[in-house]
Structure formats: C-alpha cells, structure tokens
Structure 1
C-alpha cells in the first residue's frame, strides 16, 4: 500500500476505515451448547426470524445469497440482499449487504467453544443508519439500534438453544388458542 493509498482492504466488519455514519455493534453471549450446533442453527438464516424480533422475512436465494426484510423505526421496512463472504463451518459466518441495500451493513458471527462452559457466540455488525446522524438518534430513542438489538437477539438465541423456548411476558397465538380465545 502506498502512502497515498488509505483504503483498508479488511472485510467491512473489521475495517478501521469506517467512513461517514457507519456504526459498529458487537455483543457476546456464552451458550451451553456445542459450537457446531449453534453454527448450524444460525447458518440456516430462515431460523433467525425466531430470535430476531425485527425480522419480517429472510428468503434464501442460493447457498451464499439471501434477501432480508426487517422492521425499522416508525413501522418502516428495509430490504437488502446479503452475501456470505466467509463461511467456516462450526466457527464463523461473515456477510455483507449488496450495493442496493436500504441499510448498508456487514457482519460476522463467531462461535468459540470454551471447555466445560459451552460456546462464546460473538455477533459484530457494521451498518450505516438511514438518514445519517438523525437516523442514529431515532433508532436510539426507539431502542432499535444494533447495540440493543444484538444484546436482545443473543439473549433470545441463548434461551432457545439452552431451553428450547424463548421466555416472554407476551401472550402468543398458541397460548391464546389453548385458552380458547
């Protein structure tokens, strides 16, 4: 790299060249399950709607491409196609959104087994909030910023993987049906 070339060629999620309003969120959780099992669940992206409350839908286009629709602030939805850029079975999945994304983003999820304790799952997401600085304030006020979402999503992932269900105080459709309502 020459002195005049300042481009960082690292993957977007690890790049130190975060231009504009790009934000970085990283969270970890220790889950008492084997890394391969957690990886397999996550790698089937359609499973993520079970743990991420902002997901409207994820459609697999092929082995490495998927189309995402997510809820945003004020009832808006955002869409993008994501491309898996690195896939190490049982260990890591890295992705980036395409250039037409409503919300430019990239990320990495790591699965690191810890002897006798399960697996440390680390989710790192880089994104550009819609509407720049104003969008950053709006998602923060509405608790939709990726720092908060990642923490909540990993907590739900841990619950589902360790207990088979996600604890909630909301009465879901199945509960209402059992009660005859």
Structure 2
C-alpha cells in the first residue's frame, strides 16, 4: 500500500513537471513569435532591425571597455595587495623623509586640525607634538602605528577636551577619514565584480526556506547595487532628496542665442512647442511657476517649481517645491556656437516614486523622462528655427 502511494506521488510530480515544461515552451514560443513580428513588420521592421544592430554594437563596445577597465583594476589592486603583504612579512628600511610624508598624510584623515600637530621622524621612530583633541588622540596614534615603516610612536602632544583650550584648535576641523569600499557612493570595478560574484554565490546556497528567502533577497539587492553602481538611497528613492536619476541632453539650434533665450526664458511659451505641457502660470514675482503636464496615460500632473538662479541670456536653474510627489531640480544653459548657432543643454536630476527602480519600470512602460527631454529639445529646435518669437516676449525684470 505504501509503495502504491509513493508511485502515485511520483506520477503526479512527473505530470506537474511536464505541464510546467509545456507552459514554459508555450511562453517561449509566444515571445519568439512576438519578436519576429516586431522585427519583420513590413512598415517599420527595417528601422527596428537597424536600431537593434546599433544597440547590440553599442552594448558590445561597452562590454569590451568594461572588461578592459576591470582587468586593469584587478591587476593594479592585485599587485598592490601583493606588495603590501610582502612588505608586512619582509619589510625594508624607509627613508625618514618618506616616512614623514606618510605620517602627515595619514594624520590628515584622523585629525581635524593637522596644522596643529608637529611630526618628527628619526630612525623610523615618530614623535608627535603640538595639540590635538582628546577624542582624536588614541585613534590618530593607532593610525600612525599602522603606517608602513614606523617602528615606534611617541606621542608628546597635548590632548585638549575642548577646541577652545588651544588657539591652534579653533575653527572648523576637516576630517577625511577613509571610507570602506562598500560604503562609498561609487564602487570600484573590482568591488562591483566581487560583490556580483558573491551575490551569485549566495543564490546557489541550499538553506531552509525562510532563511533562503532572506539570503536571496539580500543577494538580489547586492547584485542590483553592483550592476547599477548607485547607492541604495538612489535605487529606492528613500532620503535621496532630488537626486536619484541624472538626465542630460543637448541640442544644437540654428538660431542666435538671443532668439532661443526668448523661448526658454519664458515658461508660459512652452505649451506652444511642447505638446505634453498643458499650462504654465507664473507667480506675481515671476520666480515660482505652476505647471500642468500630461502624465502616464494622459493623466494631468501638477507641480510648482522655483527659480534658484537666472543669468539673462545664458542660464536658468530651478527646483521643485517642497512636498512635491516627484522632487526634481535642473539647469538649462545656452552656449553660442560658430555660424550663429546655439547649443541648448539641460541637466535634470529627479527622484521618481521608488527611485531608480521606479525609473527602470517607467522606461519599460514607455514613460522615459530622458526620451521625453530629448523630444522636447527637438521640438524646441524645430520651433526656434522655423517660427522664432518676437524679441520682447521672454524678457523679465
């Protein structure tokens, strides 16, 4: 009876695997058919295939360049680590002048007022004099002891509880303490490679289910962090302020800078050549603008923005008001080019819902802010070259 029950379970499991395999095959066939229909479309298929080839070539170049950077970084760091290990085990005499500069450089990371510290080196013995704050004393001495070549440290400085106890300790201190690699904003290629490798290794571990979910979740976060090289606050949008995504675009307009400025310097003119901008109203002082734009699926999105900088004829900077759903800030600059042309460059930083992850989802759904910005600049170019506005329209006091 027991054997019969086991056989039934085995047959049920095998049937489930077959159904799952058929479902995967059907999904793969559907995706393949959709891809063929997309690329072989009689009207736009040729353009799509050309765009796909260009993107594939660009990705190949990016991959090749990235592998080259990773190879050089791994080689340089490997040689550095090997040299450090050899020095720790073998060691060799260090000139006192070289050791003096090493100690001064290390003190700058742990002492807020390095100019108040006097350093002398004799026969690899470091003598520290001058003044230092009490809470920096022990930490700085430990750091100096770790400097390669130092045999002994003699601390003869005076440790003060308050900065006001010594004239040389007054004023703001400057700490440049070393930050661990994985806590830095930008990771090195080697750190990204090792983090990605560790994340892949964590996925292969066989653990109990609750623990496995937690470990795989952490591995996924680590892999995304390594792939994007963005800090978690920018990936999630939490505490990222107005900067989670950076977008930059530029266009060259065959029109003088004065004519282009009359368009970009007056926000109320934007609805004329930007279809997604429905309305722009200015406050009485002209510094705050109230916008109504088309959002996803044509839904109106309203927000306020405040000018933070204006250089007539050259530059405008702005930021969204506090409390807006999508915090953002940006800068627009005009640069005169030879032949009466003008370059318009826009740099935009914004924090969408869910940060960089939300930006990726928006791109998949066709709501890419970078693409929209490039379209807006193309429309500005067309409008400025074919329908210039009178010179008095955009000026403001």
Matched, 1:34 2:206: no
Aligned to 2:329: 106
Aligned to 1:171: none
What is the distance in 2 between the residues matched to 1:148 and 1:133? Answer: 16
What is the distance in 2 between the residues matched to 1:51 and 1:102? Answer: 26
SS at match of 2:371: helix
Matched, 1:54 2:226: no
Q: Which has the larger radius of gyration?
A: 2
What is the distance in 2 between the residues matched to 1:70 and 1:92? Answer: 23
Structure 2 unmatched ranges of 5 or more? 1-172, 177-230, 238-243, 389-397
Greater relative CO (CA pairs within 8 A, separation 6+):
1
- CA deviations over 1:34-86 (Å, ceiling 9, x no partner): 11221121111011122323222211113111011222223333222111111
Out of 334, 355, 358, which is 1:135 matched to? 358
Report the aligned-residue RMSD: 2.5
Q: If each structure's helix is expressed as a fraction of its own residues, which one has the higher value? A: 2
Matched, 1:122 2:345: yes
Matched, 1:89 2:312: yes
Aligned to 2:175: 3
What is the distance in 1 between the residues matched to 2:294 and 2:274? Answer: 10
Q: Aligned residue pairs: how many? A: 154
Distance 1:55 1:2, change over 3 A: farther
Structure 1 unmatched ranges of 5 or more? 5-16, 166-181
What is the distance in 2 between the residues matched to 1:91 and 1:126? Answer: 20
What is the distance in 1 between the residues matched to 2:374 and 2:232? Answer: 22
What is the distance in 2 between the residues matched to 1:159 and 1:18? Answer: 40
TM, length-normalised to structure 1: 0.75
The answer on whether the counterparts of 1:30 and 1:117 sit within 8 Å (CA) in structure 2 is no
What is the distance in 1 between the residues matched to 2:255 and 2:328? Answer: 28
Distance 1:141 1:114, change over 3 A: same
Q: If each structure's strand is expressed as a fraction of its own residues, which one has the higher value? A: 1
Distance 1:36 1:19, change over 3 A: farther
SS at match of 2:339: coil
| Deviation (angstroms), 1:2 | 3.9
What is the distance in 2 between the residues matched to 1:158 and 1:122? Answer: 12
